[in-house]
Amino acid sequence: MSTNSTASELLTWDRATLEDVASKVGTPFYIYSGEELRKRANEVLSIVEAEGAQARYAMKACSTRKILEELQSLGFWIDAVSGNEILRAVQAGFAPGQNPPTVLYSADVFRDNAIEAIKEHHALPNVGTPHMIDQLAEADYRGAIGIRINPGFGHGHVQQCDTGGPSSKHGIWYEDLEDSIARCKKYGFPIKLIHAHIGTGPAIGEFQTNIKRLVEYYSSIITSFDEVDAVNLGGGIPHPYREGDKRIDIAACRDLVSEAQKTLSEKAGRSIRIEIEPGRYVVAASATLVGRVCGLKDTRDNEKGPGQRFVTVDAGFCDLVRPTMYGSYHRIEVPGREGESLTPQVIAGPMCESGDVFTRDSDELLDPRPLPNLEIGDLLTIHDAGAYGFTMSSNYNSLGRVPQVWYDNGQAHLVSRRQVLEDLIREECDEPL
């Protein structure tokens, strides 16, 4: 493995390391760089280094226990979106309780064991739907509460990820806040946090622009919340997936957070903690999905379009769904074949779906990638797969979820094993109800 420290830093893996891991766990597998994770995590921590600021990790991006343990040791708090995420965070060492509120539960619905986990571990519920306030009261919840607001603006990196505005399901519409405030007063729930997540736009400067606008909005409403002591600006720090993409200015983000803390504290007349909750930026670069070339075949030009060279690999969208779901770009390399001439090739997986292709564009069309002429048996690395990679993987086609390997200081450790059939069918039953 090697990295550099330039703005265009890229994580690479040497073939010998990957072949050694593959000989022990098979392919495909995920491999995480501890060094890369800590580097990104420390960049985020530098944004909140001023007094009165805190970083949470949006664990939906990757909830692998080893990742959580590393981030807990560095001083992150947690943003969870399910009852089981609360439980996993506590098991990984994050302290329960609301003083301070180390674990935040942010959702628009209480599902499964969410309320029970909140009550058991005193996580701070951050509600995105008014009826959730009534449900907490019905469940005899006693404690503080957070309110997630839809401020009427925001943007995701693609339309499907829009997190603010009239097309977003997230949060309580800003013009309807009075009703939610009244419900909280009725049940005796002190509102200690207000939250909005407006996402990352496609332009590198859009994050800063949206945060400034969000701070202005918070300034206009903070006096309506007498007990609020924290304002959460959400996550959405953009990660550069493409070679040559610009990196976000970390120092500028630090200045934004510092200014927000001062502005909102002055407006409220008391100290206000500013929180950010990135997920993707923390973990995306640290993980690589490693597969092996299994087959080669060609189609020919005809009236439907041009022919293609298809390279089939054993990794598929059950392992990394982002290219199929969003047309997302992930850098692809062939370790040990550096410096060779390149040929456009389509990288396709084993799933029984035509969309199981890693080389797609934003319109979900085939986008052949210039790569060395691949041969059966070559290892192939799909980079920047740490965010919404393993955590969104599935058992489609009855395939087991792949192993996860942690690599740090020259040592590889298996942190989750490959699933086998018994894992897939363990919950199946035939019980009268």
Residues carrying an active site annotation = 352
Cα→Cα distances 202→40, 161, 162, 168, 241, Å: 20, 11, 11, 17, 12
Distance CA 210, CA 254 (A): 15
Cα→Cα distances 91→68, 107, 361, 415, Å: 9, 21, 39, 15
Cα→Cα distances 102→95, 98, 118, 122, Å: 6, 7, 12, 10
Distance CA 349, CA 291 (A): 9
β-strand 309-313 against 77-80: which pairing, if any? Answer: unpaired
Phi, psi angles (nearest 5°) of residue 304: -85, -15
Helices 114-121, 131-138: axis angle to 10 degrees equals 60
CA Rg value for the chain: 23
- Residue 192's nearest CA partner among 90, 257, 123 is 123
